[in-house]
DNA sequence: TTATAAAATTACGTATACATTAAAAAATTA
DNA sequence: TAATTTTTTAATGTATACGTAATTTTATAA
């Protein structure tokens, strides 16, 4: 590794230099999630290759992986299409997230976990409180995501985490867009606290029901917002 | 297209000629599900390329997609490893299948579906009865799979179907292996009938609970079999 | 022999060449 | 003009070449 490569590598992210394919995957994924590559837009392989400064081969491989992950659709001669989501798509995804997170809450409650397993979730709750006080919605959203992913981690099923990560990727854009349109998430903080308490107390059914209610509420709110602001494909 | 190519194409499957990448994907997937490519085995790109009669490029693309689908792991310089499953993996997967199929049963029950929507599921139930009489377990398994996928279809959430298809692919091998080791699935047929009745009558909670119980029973039985016969990685 | 170092091998990652064929543009005809 | 055909363009799918680096083999030293 040359010095310049090394410094670039350090500057970027991890210390191990990944293949161009995996770099392309990571960069494109980030550009999609941040809407730098707008949903609904099409991009030819050549365009992406020159954007990323590499040949078509690794770009092509990255787009095939992104397609398998549900973020794009590869349409020969029309380029790679960044997938957009309808309200129906959102509803489908939220149905899955609700179900698998709620199951995770139940599983976690049945485990009699030691106190130190809850540290991150508790911090996330505190951060959400603080973020509400500061009226900092980005900080709130970040802590909210940490709380939800902790819930899944505590459930202990890695594949549930995989599925949820995949669908969270697909809706992150939408969630971000509505972050400042939605009402203050005061109730959410209360909900989270109650779910975590139920888990700590081993009340599996309660934990599950509380979390399901929490998620259904979030879904209803989001779909109403999309409708209200006329976002039909996002 | 030459005459020989055309006849090969006709003989093979669909009439539209797919790309080599997608052919490779389909063939490799089938070879994995049927255990022709044994779980745990490793295969170099070159080997697969000559097996499939194409260059490394489309084979490589296919393996990257298979990796994203969770069937293989690409390990540079060690080849593509066909993933095997531990009991823990099986338990994780069954947890997801149980949850999402049960949710589908609930959703279907809430839909007040017309009678003709149940034709395929009903036929599957009859076929399972017949297969039991004939002591034909392969026929039973086929009808069983149709019933389960119908349940998900009736629920109406396409993404649930995607997730379930993905994990069914991963456990199909195991299910097939234990097909003739398990007790006669008499109770299963009864369970299916009850779930379908509950759905038709709009009893969502009942449908859900019945199906969950059915699935948990199947999971317990399968894990016990794996343990009894010493299948720790399959 | 066992451990280490040097050399050889080879699988992979990537760029590139090129045939194919869909799409677009131009030309022709009605 | 509108419809059809022909020509051109260019995006893709695939094979191949080749540098790189991991692995294996061989050689050397302890």
According to DSSP, the β-strands at A72-75 and A79-82 are antiparallel
| Euclidean distance between CA atoms B97 and B68, whole angstroms | 19
Query: Do A38 and A82 touch, CB atoms closer than 8 A?
Result: yes
Query: Do B128 and B140 touch, CB atoms closer than 8 A?
Result: yes
CATH architecture of B10-82: Orthogonal Bundle (1.10)
Query: Do A223 and A174 touch, CB atoms closer than 8 A?
Result: no
Give, in Å, how far the C1' of C18 lies from the CA of A46: 16
| Euclidean distance between CA atoms A228 and A148, whole angstroms | 26
Mean pLDDT of B79-86: 96
| Euclidean distance between CA atoms A8 and B196, whole angstroms | 60
Residue of chain B minimizing CA distance to A58: B61
* Structure tokens, B195: 């779930």
| Euclidean distance between CA atoms B152 and B101, whole angstroms | 6
Fold of A87-228: 1.20.120
Q: Say yes or no to pLDDT of B54 above 90.
A: yes
* Structure tokens, A214: 């929490």
Residue A63 pLDDT: 98
pLDDT tens string A7-54: 333 333 334 578 999 999 999 999 999 999 999 999 999 999 999 999
Q: Say yes or no to pLDDT of A68 above 80.
A: yes
Return positions of chain D under 7 A from a protein CB: 11-17, 21-23
| Euclidean distance between CA atoms B138 and B109, whole angstroms | 29
| Euclidean distance between CA atoms A2 and A8, whole angstroms | 10
Residue A16 pLDDT: 52
Identify the bridge partners of residue A75 per DSSP, sorted by sequence position. Answer: A79
Identify the bridge partners of residue A42 per DSSP, sorted by sequence position. Answer: A81
Phi/psi at B114 (5° precision): -70, 155
d(CA A57, nearest CA chain B) in Å: 9
Give, in Å, how far the C1' of D9 lies from the CA of A77: 13
Q: Say yes or no to pLDDT of A205 above 90.
A: yes
pLDDT tens string A94-130: 999 999 999 999 999 999 999 999 999 999 999 999 9
| Euclidean distance between CA atoms B26 and B65, whole angstroms | 11
Chain-chain contact of B61 with A65 (C-beta, under 8 angstroms): no
Torsion of CA A43, A91, A234, A37, to 10 degrees: -40
Could you tell me if A87 lies within 8 Å of chain B, comparing CB atoms?
no
Q: Say yes or no to pLDDT of B208 above 90.
A: yes
Q: Say yes or no to pLDDT of A197 above 70.
A: yes
Residue B172 pLDDT: 94
Nearest to A101 by CA among A175, A191, A26: A191
CB atoms within 10 A of CB A127: 18
In this predicted model, which residue has the larger pLDDT, A228 or B14? A228
Please report, for chain B, the start and end positions of each structural domain, with discontinuous segments joined by +. Answer: 10-82, 87-228
Return positions of chain C under 7 A from a protein CB: 11-17, 21-23
Residue B14 pLDDT: 34
Range A3-82 has CATH code 1.10.10.10: yes
Alpha helices in A17-157 (DSSP H): 20-33, 45-52, 56-68, 87-109, 119-133, 137-155
Percentage of chain A lying above the pLDDT 90 cut: 90
């Amino acid at each position: 590794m040359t010095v310049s490569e090394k410094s670039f590598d350090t500057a970027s992210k991890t210390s191990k230099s990944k293949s161009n394919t995996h770099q392309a995957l990571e960069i494109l994924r980030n550009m999609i999630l941040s809407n730098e590559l707008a949903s609904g837009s099409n991009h030819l392989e050549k365009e992406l290759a020159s954007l990323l400064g590499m040949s078509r081969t690794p770009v092509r491989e990255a787009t095939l992986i992104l397609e398998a992950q549900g973020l794009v659709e590869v349409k020969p001669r029309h380029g790679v299409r960044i997938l957009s989501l309808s309200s129906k798509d959102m509803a489908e995804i939220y149905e899955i997230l609700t179900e698998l997170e709620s199951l995770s809450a139940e599983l976690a409650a049945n485990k009699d976990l030691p106190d130190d397993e809850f540290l991150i979730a508790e911090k996330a709750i505190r951060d959400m409180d603080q973020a509400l006080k500061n009226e900092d919605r980005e900080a709130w959203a970040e802590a909210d995501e940490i709380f939800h992913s902790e819930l899944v981690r505590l459930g202990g099923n890695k594949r549930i985490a995989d599925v949820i990560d995949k669908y969270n990727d697909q809706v992150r854009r939408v969630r971000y867009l509505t972050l400042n349109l939605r009402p203050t998430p005061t109730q959410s903080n209360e909900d989270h606290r109650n779910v975590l308490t139920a888990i700590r107390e081993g009340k599996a059914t309660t934990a599950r029901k509380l979390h399901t209610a929490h998620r259904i509420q979030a879904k209803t709110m989001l779909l109403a917002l999309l409708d209200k602001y006329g976002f039909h494909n996002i």
